Structure 1
Amino acid sequence: MSMLTSEDAVAQAMAEAKGPLVIRGGGTRTVGRPVVGEVLDVSGLSGVTLYEPGALTLVAQAGTPVAEIESALAAENQRLAFEPYDLTGVLGTSGASTIGGVIATNASGPRRIMAGAARDFALGVRFVDGTGQVIKNGGRVMKNVTGYDLVKLMSGSWGTLGVLTEVSLKVLPSVEAETTLVIDGLAADQAVLAMSRALGSPFEVSGAAWVAGQVWLRLEGFEGSVAYRASQLKTLLAAFGDIAEMQVDWRTVRDAMPLHGADAVWRISVKPSDGPAVIAALPKGTDTLMDWGGGLVWAGHSGGDIAATHSAVQAAVAAMGGHATLIKGPDAVRSAVPVFQPEAPGVAALTASLRHRFDPNGILNPGLMAA
């Protein structure tokens, strides 16, 4: 199918669809079970349609590249506070990540621990459901709504409930200064203790990660405030070892750069205190890093029986009340295993009911999130 360039064209294509559709924006997030169907390319729905810096509000068509939005915001000294991650390095994909893909997958980076997730900054959405009906929910300001909060529902639905055509976002000012405190030589359990102490302090840590045996603690804000908070944190965390103050590239954590090239990559969410236990349960030779103070574990593994490893990972994570997603793996494996953590029966029934409501013909990325 050719690239679609308008919401009306998307609605018509959905209404006339005779079989499964593979929803594609920038094509950078090839996660989930492989879907066989006709490609619905919505990358042509591109462009910022409204930007009011004074109101901290931006509206863009769903196919707009994230880089284009970030460039427009930077010109006004503003930013996407939720720091969306980019999977092109992990997956080896090309193309440009789009804002529709970010919201559809709720792609949130290291700053989530302080600022919130992508869904928390989505003020409104327009989308086309599986019957070709155009639906609008939310608006351009934060407010309470009645009925379904479809903005939140669409965030993390991976294109299985509808095709996003427009997104309204809350944006925030950029910061004057940034620094990172680095503590070297900590094992996973000690790293979580250090990160927990920092995050539990009043010093507003905006990133807390463990990378290659180092704890990274990011501080952002006005220059004087950053300097004061850094000094106070150094005193608070002195028992964990020498603390260096440096400028580091947080994309290393955001985009799981140490795992680029691994045969299989998992994104695992658990209670921060369970991060070290997850790492200990992974097969020998697995490379890991922790974000969100230990609540997010990225794991990469090469060789061996990836399907068996995946089953073991999900079983271990389920016992801790968390969930593990196979972000990268061979197509044969992704076709045979539950890529996303299997849901509890009650939740699975609710999910199926919602999908039937919004996609009664089962044409939107069918099977992509199947257990």
Structure 2
Amino acid sequence: MTIFTPSTEAEIVEAVQWALSEGAPVEVCGHGSKRGLGRPLQTEHTIALSNHSGVTLYEPDELVLSAKAGTPIAELEALLASKGQAFQFEPMDYGPLLGQAAGQGSLGGVLAANLCGPRRLKAGSARDHVLGVRVVSGRGELFKSGGRVVKNVTGYDLSKGMANSWGTLGIATEITFKVLPAPETETTLVVRGLMDDEAARAMAIAMGSSGEVASAAHLPVNICGRLVDGVLKGEASTLLRLEGFAPSVADRAAMLRGLLSSAGAIEELSGEISRKLWQEVRDVIPFADGTERPVWRVSMAPMEAYKLVASMRMGAAADAYYDWQGGLVWMRLDGEPEAEAVRALIRKYGGGHATLVRAPDAVRAATPVFEPQPAALAALSKRLKQQFDPDGILNPGRMVAGV
């Protein structure tokens, strides 16, 4: 087994060209924090970008940051915070959920997995913030797409095409993201005691108001005690995050209190407690239990998601909570992952998609981990793979068996 740890772009090109010449498929990774997500790879060789690290450009006044793909995202977030800035899409950290240490994810992994967080409805995901990328394709060729300004795209936007490709199309060597000022003030309103269906309606009212709610989530009663040292235990909690200048946040909080006065008791969390709460919601800390019990990430219509969970609970032991106003469900099951049952219920309740984020290797090898694509889209994805990686040497089978 060979593990390549290139520290330069030229060495990455050389490693891919070696793999091509040998007909040897390779695993592509950064620090390995998401190795347990996707189908298990059957490769003898690895190209790990952990040594290909460092900031290549940071211009705070221009709101632009470029870094090599192996740069730990935690280092970049600390650098941005020192200048009062942040990645507004707040990329989640899969490490704790998958049994790894926190803070190990890389910038390349952020784009490859198209990461985002609870602010998704307002700020989008990684693909909405990427400006440019340098990539080594499976042909062993280096190319670049986009640049270091917002309006730089003509023709195909290959920078965004790399998002959610999980290292199957090419190896990103350097990535440029736009960054934005971090919120001056953060406050979370906590509506207590709502059932799942009541919470869905309350979140819809809040998100549809002029309150400019940045994030909305609902934690059933059995979830609340597992976050921020149990500060929310006792009753179900519906969370509404407000951000911005302090006077504006205060005014909007007062307006929302009046709007939701009949929903239930409303508490308020501010500052570091609020930030930690949303970070733990983002990183699925309630299910970071050190086990391999199946965890699903389900995206569907917010007003249908609680129906899916209720139906799942009729046939299996299911633990769940809701982000993105209810449109994102994190669900942990006891026993088998029930892929067909989960996806059949999603179709029953209006459609969506489900990813099996955590399960034992044998289960992930036998289960369509990512949502199966319709035939036409699957054919297009296969042609795209053929264009970028015709010999199928980069993360083969990571997303779909045989591709």
TM range (shorter): over 0.9
Matched, 1:299 2:331: yes
Q: Could you say what the CA RMSD is over the residues aligned between the two structures, in angstroms?
A: 1.3
Alpha-carbon distance between aligned partners in 2 of 1:144 and 1:112, rounded to the nearest angstrom: 24
Aligned residue pairs total 368
TM-score (norm 2): 0.89
Alpha-carbon distance between aligned partners in 2 of 1:311 and 1:164, rounded to the nearest angstrom: 34
Matched, 1:36 2:42: yes
Read off the aligned partner of 2:385 and give its amino acid letter: R
Matched, 1:223 2:255: no
Is contact 1:211-1:253 (8 Å) kept? no
Structure 2 segments unaligned to the other structure (5+ residues): 221-235
What is the CA-CA distance between 1:4 and the residue it aligns to? 0.9
Alpha-carbon distance between aligned partners in 1 of 2:308 and 2:327, rounded to the nearest angstrom: 10
Is contact 1:208-1:218 (8 Å) kept? yes
Q: Secondary structure at the match of 1:125?
A: strand
Partner of 2:67: 60
Q: Secondary structure at the match of 2:96?
A: helix
What is the CA-CA distance between 1:275 and the residue it aligns to? 1.3
Partner of 2:10: 8
Is contact 1:205-1:218 (8 Å) kept? yes
Alpha-carbon distance between aligned partners in 2 of 1:187 and 1:343, rounded to the nearest angstrom: 34
Matched, 1:257 2:263: no
Read off the aligned partner of 2:336 and give its amino acid letter: D
Read off the aligned partner of 1:27 and give its amino acid letter: G
Is contact 2:4-2:15 (8 Å) kept? no
What is the CA-CA distance between 1:43 and the residue it aligns to? 1.3
Matched, 1:315 2:347: no
TM-score (norm 1): 0.97
What is the CA-CA distance between 1:118 and the residue it aligns to? 1.1
Read off the aligned partner of 1:100 and give its amino acid letter: G
Partner of 2:208: 200
Matched, 1:344 2:374: yes
Alpha-carbon distance between aligned partners in 2 of 1:318 and 1:367, rounded to the nearest angstrom: 25
Show the 5 A alignment for 1:76-91.
Answer: 76-91=83-98
Structure 1 segments unaligned to the other structure (5+ residues): none
What is the CA-CA distance between 1:175 and the residue it aligns to? 1.6
What is the CA-CA distance between 1:285 and the residue it aligns to? 2.2
Partner of 2:387: 357
Q: Secondary structure at the match of 2:248?
A: helix
Alpha-carbon distance between aligned partners in 2 of 1:241 and 1:252, rounded to the nearest angstrom: 24
What is the CA-CA distance between 1:277 and the residue it aligns to? 1.7
What is the CA-CA distance between 1:314 and the residue it aligns to? 2.1
Percentage of matched positions with identical amino acids:
48
Q: Secondary structure at the match of 1:268?
A: strand
Alpha-carbon distance between aligned partners in 1 of 2:165 and 2:92, rounded to the nearest angstrom: 17
Could you report, residue by residue, the CA deviation over 1:28-86 in whole angstroms, capped at 9, with x for unpaired residues? 11211001111111111101110000000000001000111011101111111101101
Read off the aligned partner of 2:33 and give its amino acid letter: T
Alpha-carbon distance between aligned partners in 1 of 2:396 and 2:39, rounded to the nearest angstrom: 9
Matched, 1:233 2:241: no
Partner of 2:53: 46
Show the 5 A alignment for 1:147-166.
Answer: 147-166=155-174
Read off the aligned partner of 1:258 and give its amino acid letter: P
Is contact 2:53-2:68 (8 Å) kept? yes
Partner of 2:134: 126
Alpha-carbon distance between aligned partners in 1 of 2:346 and 2:134, rounded to the nearest angstrom: 35
Q: Secondary structure at the match of 2:97?
A: helix
Matched, 1:324 2:332: no
What is the CA-CA distance between 1:144 and the residue it aligns to? 5.5
What is the CA-CA distance between 1:339 and the residue it aligns to? 0.2
